[in-house]
Each structure stands twice: as structure tokens, then as C-alpha cells.
Amino acid sequence: MIDLLTEYMEGGLAPAVGRRLETHLGNCSACEGFLQTLRATRAAIRSLQRDDIPEDCHTKLRAFLDRELKSGLL
């Protein structure tokens, strides 16, 4: 269902399938509510700011992971 709704939101459904889905959504408050929640979730995720990891943190993390891999803990 999520894949179908995602395709619907992105305009990727065949017209006949889109119309059938819209008819269903008009008659099913649970699915319409789920679609609204999915839209809101996607909008919230898109609004998040992406911060780059500082280079020194990246270097330290890489060294830590390398040590852990060599020790057999990961």
C-alpha cells in the first residue's frame, strides 16, 4: 500500500489506477488519513537540515571503526 501511495504522490500511477485509488480514498477515511500522514511525514523529513560531519570527527570515527574491525568486535 505504501508503494502504491508513494507512486500516487509522485504522479507515477497509470491514469486508470490513479482514478481507482482516488475513488477509494474518497470512500475510505482510514486510507485518506494514512495518505495525509505519509505526506506530512515526507514533508517533515524534507525540511530537516543536513549537517556535514566535521573532518576531525570523521577521521576519529573512521579510526575507531578500523580498530574495532581489526579487533574482531565488529
Dihedral sign, Cα of residue 8, residue 11, residue 13, residue 14? positive
Give domain limits for the chain. 2-71
Measured between alpha carbons, how far apart are the two ends of the chain, in Å?
Answer: 36
Report which of 30, 28, 44, 37 is spatially closest to residue 6, judged by C-alpha positions: 37
Residuewise pLDDT in 10s, the chain (74 residues)? 888 999 999 999 999 999 999 999 999 999 999 999 999 999 999 998 888 888 899 899 999 999 999 987 66
Q: Which helix (DSSP H) or strand (DSSP E) does residue 26 occupy?
A: helix 15-27
Q: What is the pTM of this model?
A: 0.61
